[in-house]
Structure formats: C-alpha cells, structure tokens
Structure 1
Amino acid sequence: MNWQQTIAALETGSVRSAYRDETGNWQANVDAKQAILAAFKAGENTEFNGVYPGFVDKDNLPPRQFKVEDKVRLVPGGSSVRRGAYVAPGVIIMPPAYINIGAFVDSGTMVDSHALIGSCAQVGKNVHVSAAVQIGGVLEPVGAKPVIIEDDVFLGAGVVIVEGIVVKKGAVIAPGVSLSASVPVYDCVNQQMLEKGAAIPERAVVVPGTRPVKGDWGNELGLTMACALIVKYRDEKSDASLTLESVLR
C-alpha cells in the first residue's frame, strides 16, 4: 500500500500501527509508521479555514470530522482527532483532548479533558482515560513500539505513560503515576522489582511512590526519587468502585 492507502486504513481500523505477534507480545507495525512519516514528508503547510480558522498544518493530514452515524461523541470545546487515527463507535471525547495520527482508540473508552493520546498509541476497549492523562506517542525510531493500554484499564488523573510501556488488561493506574522505561516499578504484593520497561501486570493497582537517593549526601538531605508501587491486585471491591456508568455513554 502507498501512504495514502495506509493512512485511510489506519483511520478505519483495518490496519494498526502496533500488533500482537505469535507470542502475544506487542510489536510496532514498521510499514504503517513509515507510511505516516511519508505522509508528513509529502504534505505542505496550509491554513485551515472554515471549521478550523487560524490553524496551520500539513494539507494532507486535516483534523477528522465526525457524523452521528459514526457513533463517536466528540463534545464541543476544542478537541481534535487527526487524520489517520481510529476512533471506534462508542468512544466519548471530552474537551479539550487530542488524539494523534496512527492512534487506535477502541469502543467504550472515555477520553477526558486535557488528555493526550499520542501518535500510534493503542488504547483498548472500555478504558477510562481521566483528565490530563498523557499517553505518549512514538513515531521514531520506526521499530519502537508505542504505548499500549489494554482493555478495561483505568488511568487516573494526571497519569503519564511514555516510552512504549504496556499496561495490561484491567490494571488501575492511580492519579499522578508516571511510567517510563526508566521509572522503577516495585510489586509489593509479590515482593519483587519489575524488569526495566516491563509491562504492568493484569489487574495490578499502581500508586505513586518514592525511593531514597543513593549516596551519603542524598541520605543526609533525605532526597528521594519517583517510582511506582503495585500495592494490590483488583478484587470485587475494586471492580465495584471503578464501574463505569453507562448513562454517561
């Protein structure tokens, strides 16, 4: 496929910028990401008038516009979904929010105010993306996988997830947690430290934590560094507190 066909396929969800391999691990779709880069190279900056007066971007990558039959609720107030991003029926986008090219947002997901879903990021079904959540995008290098948020995940306000971190099904990431390849994650239930950049396990409940800075000077001043702590795994009580109200959808 040429870049035009690939961008169109990404937008319909028939092609994704990341996929599960035969072992169940997520991998980047290099061809799709190369097509996105080709689209940027082919486009020229233009002024968007009419619906988007005063905005300048690539002429071949305009913001998407939705109709009632798309069954996507895009609430007025400054949100934007770029061309080449897939948004499934049943998704709600509260203003202002931004979904970038190559992203995949599956059905039943709520994207709250001031949230970012970066280029090529993958968000599963029935995910709650709370206010000010930042889900990082990865276009380059093309072989690097984007952030993956699997089904039924709850992301609390202000969560930041970058550098290709995978959050597995049903996990709960508490407000203020930052996850990256360099942020250590400690599993307090199983009393172990996850490998660098490892996926957050299914149904894990993750909260912000700190750890002491090494060295006499750091100890003297009581300095600490950020980390993330798995404090429990979801149970029936957790599930009840996180039930998403169907009336909001």
Structure 2
Amino acid sequence: MNDLKKRLADYFDNGIEGREQDYFNDCETFSNLLNTGEIRSAEKVNGEWKVNKWVKSGILTLFKYSKIIEFSINDDFKFFDKETLPLRAMDLDSKVRLVPGGSSIRNACYVAPSVICMPPMYINIGAYVDEGSMIDSHALVGTCAQVGKNCHISAAAQIGGVLEPAGAVPVIIEDNVMVGGNCG
C-alpha cells in the first residue's frame, strides 16, 4: 500500500509522461481499493474521525491527468467523463439493492451489502455508505462523504462532499441516523 501511496503522490506532483500505462494501472488498483472499502477517505480511529489525506489526494490524481471520453451506452444514454472515472459496475454479488430509474454510483466509492438505492439518487467518488443504509429518491451522497450503518438519507437530502483541501474532514453521518427530506 505504501508503494501505491508514493506513486500516486509522484504522479500528482511530477506528471505521468512516459509512464501513462503505470498511471492507469495504479488508478484502477486505487479505485478498486475504494470500491471494496479497503481504503477510505476518512475513518474512525479510537473514537475520533481521521482524514486519510493520501486517499483524497489520490482521488484528485484520478482527475488530474485523465482526458474526457465517451461512456455512452447508446444514442439515448450518452455521458462523458474522465477516463479514470467510469460509473461503478454493480452486480448481484454486491448485495446492493439498486432500483431502476436514473440512479448513478460513481466508481471509487464503497457501497456496502444491504444498502438500498432508490431512484434517482447519486453517490459520488470517495463516498463510503455502510450496510443497512438507504439512499432515498433524489438524495445525494457527496464526494468523500461517510454514511454509517443503518442510516436513512431521506428524499432530496444532500449530504455534501469535501474533496479539497485534501486534509479537510468530509461530511460524516454516524450510525443509525435519519436525515430528513430536503435537508442539506
């Protein structure tokens, strides 16, 4: 993990020229670690929340050297984003209930088993949504936001995101919280 941290920091500071394939491989590894919850932008350590600045800086690195490409599924569903940031691939093995109707989960975020996603909702990069939580219709979980276990983020609630500065604590919703509709 330390090698990945060092390489991401080096890409951010010194560019990727001549090592583009290494950059894209490391971006994929980094995104997968976020997707599985093995790393996160903030975590509770000894009862206090700690920012993982290197993770937030790594997310910024995903944006910095990527060009915008087309990810369109067909002529009726077009979208364009950074090449390192496709939508998150979800499947039955994720055990996430993703109801159809216009929801998006960005790659490089953790969505635990038994999370319910009601359309249309959006979970952004670096976010962490723990088990048993519901992200209701028109709700947003912002960049690097942390949502605990068994939370209900009600309809149209906006859980803000904080990516920059990298050392800033993101928005944190602890376990067993209900955020009422249209809050945020």
One-letter amino acid matched to 2:162 = V
| Count of residues in Structure 1 that have an aligned counterpart in Structure 2 | 159
Q: Which of 78, 83, 95 is equivalent to 2:107?
A: 83
- Aligned pairs for 1:167-246 within 5 A: none
Answer whether contact 1:106 1:126 (CA < 8 A) is retained.
Answer: yes
Answer whether contact 2:35 2:109 (CA < 8 A) is retained.
Answer: yes
**Displacement, 1:20?**
2.1
Give the secondary-structure state (helix, strand or coil) at the position aligned to 1:19. strand
- Aligned residue number for residue 51 of structure 2: 28
- Aligned residue number for residue 124 of structure 2: 100
Partner deviation per Cα, 1:119-149 (whole Å, 9 max, x = no partner): 1000011001100000000000111000111
Determine whether 1:72 maps to 2:90. Answer: no
Larger proportion of strand: 1
**Displacement, 1:32?**
0.1
Q: Hey, what's the Cα distance between the residues in 2 that align with 1:93 and 1:118?
A: 15
RMSD in angstroms over aligned alpha carbons? 1.4
Partner deviation per Cα, 1:67-117 (whole Å, 9 max, x = no partner): 111111111111000010100000010011000000000010011000000
- Aligned pairs for 1:110-129 within 5 A: 110-129=134-153
Higher RCO (Cα < 8 Å, 6 or more apart): 2
**Displacement, 1:11?**
0.9
Larger proportion of helix: 2
Answer whether contact 2:143 2:160 (CA < 8 A) is retained.
Answer: yes
Determine whether 1:37 maps to 2:50. Answer: no
Q: TM-score, normalised by structure 2?
A: 0.82
Answer whether contact 1:47 1:53 (CA < 8 A) is retained.
Answer: no
- Structure number with greater Rg is 1
- Aligned residue number for residue 168 of structure 1: none
Partner deviation per Cα, 1:165-204 (whole Å, 9 max, x = no partner): xxxxxxxxxxxxxxxxxxxxxxxxxxxxxxxxxxxxxxxx
Determine whether 1:9 maps to 2:33. Answer: yes
- Aligned residue number for residue 73 of structure 2: 50
Shift >3 Å, 4+ stretches: none
Structure 1: tracts of 5 or more residues without a match: 161-249
Give the secondary-structure state (helix, strand or coil) at the position aligned to 1:20. strand
Q: TM-score, normalised by structure 1?
A: 0.62
Answer whether contact 1:7 1:35 (CA < 8 A) is retained.
Answer: no
Q: Hey, what's the Cα distance between the residues in 1 that align with 2:139 and 2:54?
A: 27
Q: Hey, what's the Cα distance between the residues in 2 that align with 1:15 and 1:155?
A: 25
Answer whether contact 1:29 1:143 (CA < 8 A) is retained.
Answer: yes
Determine whether 1:140 maps to 2:164. Answer: yes
